[in-house]
């Protein structure tokens, strides 16, 4: 299997080896859903998108916001992106999204931000102590600014 193919590894009990299996595509999941289930899922997504966009634009109006940045895992959702772009444009409000690889949930983002520190064994402290770090926010802001400056921010 090509190293560029998205896959998972599964233990093959017959051979005793790990084997690669192709990652299921959306169509693979949809084939197992009936029309009622698909309609329910689509309706739920639409309701969430409309609520998020509506509340965000209402807050933008209330606080006289000049630009919107939509981030986090939800920013990867195509319907949300399209709806934000359409509705924000009606109000003359620019809206930006990070690239999809950077549209991750907070846990994944924090884990990814910690990899460089762990690789050089740079830890915040001895023992177990949790504290918020502005450094992570600064790193993320720098990446967003870089993407905007290089035209890669969508």
pLDDT tens digits for range 73-128: 888 899 999 999 999 999 999 999 988 877 877 666 667 667 776 677 665 555 54
Give the residue-averaged pLDDT of 44-69: 94
The backbone torsions φ and ψ at residue 57, rounded to the nearest 5 degrees and listed phi first, read -70, -35
For the entire predicted model, the pTM comes to: 0.56
| Strand pairing category for 17-22 and 7-12 | antiparallel
151: left (phi over 0), alpha (psi -120 to 50) or beta: left
pLDDT at 137 over 70: no
pLDDT at 144 over 80: no
pLDDT at 2 over 50: no
pLDDT at 59 (0 to 100): 94
- Whole-angstrom distance, CA of residue 136 vs CA of residue 108: 13
Ranges 75-84, 127-136, 141-150: which has the least confidence: 127-136
pLDDT at 6 over 80: no
- Whole-angstrom distance, CA of residue 136 vs CA of residue 5: 31
- Whole-angstrom distance, CA of residue 43 vs CA of residue 45: 5
Task: Decide which of 1 and 114 is more confident.
Answer: 114
Is the CATH code 3.30.1490 the one for domain 7-149? no
pLDDT at 107 (0 to 100): 67
């Amino acid at each position: 299997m090509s190293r560029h193919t998205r896959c998972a590894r599964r233990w093959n009990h017959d051979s005793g080896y790990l084997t690669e299996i192709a990652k299921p595509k959306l169509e693979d999941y949809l084939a197992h859903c009936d029309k009622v289930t698909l309609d329910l899922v689509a309706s739920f997504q639409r309701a969430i998108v409309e609520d998020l966009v509506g509340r965000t634009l209402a807050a933008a109006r209330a606080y006289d916001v000049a630009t919107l940045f939509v981030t986090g895992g939800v920013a990867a959702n195509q319907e949300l992106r399209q709806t934000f772009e359409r509705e924000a444009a009606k109000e003359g409000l620019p809206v930006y999204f990070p690239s999809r690889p950077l549209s991750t949930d907070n846990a994944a983002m924090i884990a990814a931000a910690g990899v460089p520190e762990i690789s050089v064994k740079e830890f915040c402290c001895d023992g177990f102590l949790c504290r918020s770090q502005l450094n992570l926010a600064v790193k993320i802001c720098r990446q967003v600014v870089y993407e905007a400056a290089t035209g890669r921010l969508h």
